Structure 1
Amino acid sequence: MSQIAPVPSPEIPNPAKRQVPSEHLRRIVGTPPGRVVDLLTRIVWAFLTWLSPESRDALARFVGNLAYTLGIRRRVALENLAMAMPEKSEAERREIARGAYINMARVVVESLPSGDRLPKDWAEQGVEGVEAWEALRAHVATGKGALMVTAHFGNWELLGDMLIRWGIPLDALVRPLKGALNTRIAVNRVGCGAGLIYPKGAIQEITAAVNRGESPYMLLDQALPAKAAVFVPFFGKLASTTPAMAVAAKRTGVPVFVVMGVRNGRGGARLRLEVEGPILPPEPGECEDPITEHTARVTAALERCIRKYPDQWMWLHRRWKYQPDPTVAGKAVAALEAKG
């Protein structure tokens, strides 16, 4: 059974003194906002920074409830929940969906303000999966990075900040971003000490980062077209998933850990770290497709956490949009291994 143990509160460092990633990993690639949009969004960010944490949470709850009531992607969320959790009543699924909307609004409201975004007692919430957490820290202490996997769950943005404060240098795998919101999030990532790894040449970058002692941090719960994915079970149905994590694990030989920031405390304003791992690849000869099997094992760990706290996951995403195409089977893995 998992243990929950407190983590000694470290001295929170000055952001200017935190880890500085390699220069080429501090690039922000994407389409920046126009001048008018940039000005308006800066005003919004300043307002959010000025608000107290309690007021920000009240605002997030209002926005989340409003989006749910207006039906923005509500049908998608409820269809996903009906497929993934048929054992729950319709009323229970609707409540989970509403919670997912509120969580998404909280992520935005909590992630945008500049400066110190984590509350002073953030370290007092503890860790679930103490042995896995200690194994992760022990591996990082050897001077090589680990591979860390998470999901659009809790607040994955503040989770990265939290891990860096606890001494895990990390580089986030990201896509080129568009718009003022995504640009601000990217700026905050770099500001808290994370590097940014983009898809082109990602495996090569991951390998170099691991050898520098940095831990690549990737989201593994987004649907990809069949030609770019492997298909693994997720809530009882095959879901298209990037093989990048498993290919990187094979290339680097380092362990994989699932790290999740579970909302805790009044109003969900605190994060508790939940860790599982190391999640090892199959032994040689154990299965025909070790990359897909390793991806499935890590995805299963994500599912276990989401099942415990379903209202903290992003059910609004069409996770099962794509289904296997036998004509492109194996091409995603071959392409990644060839390109690096």
Structure 2
Amino acid sequence: MSAPVSAPESPRLPVPPARLTQVLGERPGPVVGWVVNRLLDAVCALPASTRDALARFVGWLAFSLGIRRRVALENLRHAYPDMSEAERRRIALGAYVTMTRVVLESIDERDHVELGWAEPEVQGGAWGALKETVAKGQGAIIVTAHFGNWERAGKLVCQRGIPLNALVRPLKGALNMRIVDNRLKAGVGLIYPKGAIAQVHEAVKLGESVLMLLDQALPAKAAVFVPFFGRPASTTPAMAVVARRTGAPVFVVMGVRDASGRRLRLEVEGPIPPPEGVSEQDAITAHTAAVTAVLEKYIRRYPDQWLWLHRRWKVQPPPEGPPSLQG
């Protein structure tokens, strides 16, 4: 692994593109919204050590109550058939704590400096290649997963001088809408699934980079199937389609927590090129598989930082078999 970048850039307060500031979703009524936001303000005001203790407690409680525990352990059995059940349960519990930490950190609009965190280091020589791309006025495609703290990782990329838009889904509820509002306050533009490929294409052509999470299941008719922990996983082709149409380079950026769980670093790889000399559909599938393989590498390295409670393999290839790449 490359040495950490020695001179971190100072955080900035970017402004998301005006065309990408629309918030889609369902907000609560004014009274409920006010009450919930005051409660969230109180949580944000707690000392960092207390907030992290709360995150660990809530994660433990959700795991102990069995909320999606069966799904998490079943996923881990498929991924690690030779692992002991005790170790799988340890990893699953870590995934619940990771999820709770992400939520508690994402409701707070303050950046890492205001929170008293150390300046996050960036590892991987690919960060320089990404910065060079942006310096030329070009956009890049940045891929990550529900790993570590994906929300804060995106904000850190944006604050370090990369104009960034995120491909997101409409959300609902006071807590979720607060997270959406904080994305905009951090300078991240929002792109929603309807018409996403066209908007991502436009953003890249304007020199803006686009952040995509590549670890969510899609309906079979809209997906390509690529290997992920030894099983075909339905995956969006949007990343590979836009990369092919625009020539935008693809980078993987992972927000990795340290052993304490309270510090974050960015690990960057890329650019990850599409294959050459194959048909368009094969190239899209193979490119998606190559990037997914990088995500899997990080998840295997830090398994308790990925959301195993997500039903990643719930969609299976239809009998006739859509375009796929078997591992």
Distance 1:284 1:326, change over 3 A: farther
TM-score, normalised relative to structure 1: 0.91
Amino acid in structure 1 at the alignment position of 2:248: V
Matched, 1:325 2:324: no
1:284-299 correspondence runs (5 A): 284-285=277-278, 289-299=282-292
C-alpha displacement at 1:198, in angstroms? 0.8
| Corresponding residue to 1:66 among 40, 53, 61 | 61
C-alpha displacement at 1:21, in angstroms? 2.0
1:226-241 correspondence runs (5 A): 226-241=220-235
1:143 maps to which residue?
Answer: 137
1:1-340 correspondence runs (5 A): 2-13=1-12, 18-117=13-112, 119-123=115-119, 125-129=120-124, 131-265=125-259, 267-285=260-278, 289-327=282-320, 329=322
Check conservation: 1:45, 1:114, Cα contact below 8 A.
no
Bigger shift: residues 4-13 or 191-200 = 4-13
* Cα distance between partner residues in 2 of 1:68 and 1:122: 30
Where does structure 2 lack aligned partners over 5 or more consecutive residues?
none
* Cα distance between partner residues in 2 of 1:296 and 1:223: 14
Cα deviation, 1:219-266, whole Å, max 9, x if unaligned, reads 00011111111100000000000101001101111110010000015x
* Cα distance between partner residues in 1 of 2:269 and 2:37: 38
* Cα distance between partner residues in 1 of 2:282 and 2:319: 15
Distance 1:35 1:203, change over 3 A: same
Distance 1:95 1:177, change over 3 A: same
Check conservation: 1:68, 1:101, Cα contact below 8 A.
yes
Bigger shift: residues 281-290 or 67-76 = 281-290
C-alpha displacement at 1:34, in angstroms? 1.9
C-alpha displacement at 1:286, in angstroms? 7.6
C-alpha displacement at 1:128, in angstroms? 2.5
* Cα distance between partner residues in 2 of 1:233 and 1:285: 19
1:334 maps to which residue?
Answer: none
- More helix by percentage: 1
C-alpha displacement at 1:33, in angstroms? 1.1
Check conservation: 2:8, 2:121, Cα contact below 8 A.
no
Distance 1:170 1:288, change over 3 A: closer
Distance 1:214 1:288, change over 3 A: closer
Cα deviation, 1:279-309, whole Å, max 9, x if unaligned, reads 1100023896111110000000000000000
Question: Number of residue pairs matched?
Answer: 323
* Cα distance between partner residues in 1 of 2:109 and 2:121: 25
* Cα distance between partner residues in 2 of 1:52 and 1:212: 41
Identical columns (%)? 59
C-alpha displacement at 1:40, in angstroms? 2.3
TM-score, normalised relative to structure 2: 0.94
C-alpha displacement at 1:79, in angstroms? 0.1
Amino acid in structure 1 at the alignment position of 2:91: I
* Cα distance between partner residues in 2 of 1:150 and 1:200: 21
RMSD: 1.8
Check conservation: 2:4, 2:121, Cα contact below 8 A.
yes
C-alpha displacement at 1:330, in angstroms? 5.2
* Cα distance between partner residues in 1 of 2:71 and 2:186: 34
Check conservation: 1:153, 1:261, Cα contact below 8 A.
yes
User: 3-state DSSP class of the match of 2:264?
Assistant: strand
C-alpha displacement at 1:326, in angstroms? 4.5
Cα deviation, 1:74-133, whole Å, max 9, x if unaligned, reads 00000000001112111111000000000000001111023335544442x42232x211
Check conservation: 1:226, 1:328, Cα contact below 8 A.
no
C-alpha displacement at 1:7, in angstroms? 3.7
Amino acid in structure 2 at the alignment position of 1:167: G
C-alpha displacement at 1:37, in angstroms? 2.4
User: 3-state DSSP class of the match of 1:209?
Assistant: helix
User: 3-state DSSP class of the match of 1:65?
Assistant: helix
Where does structure 1 lack aligned partners over 5 or more consecutive residues?
332-340
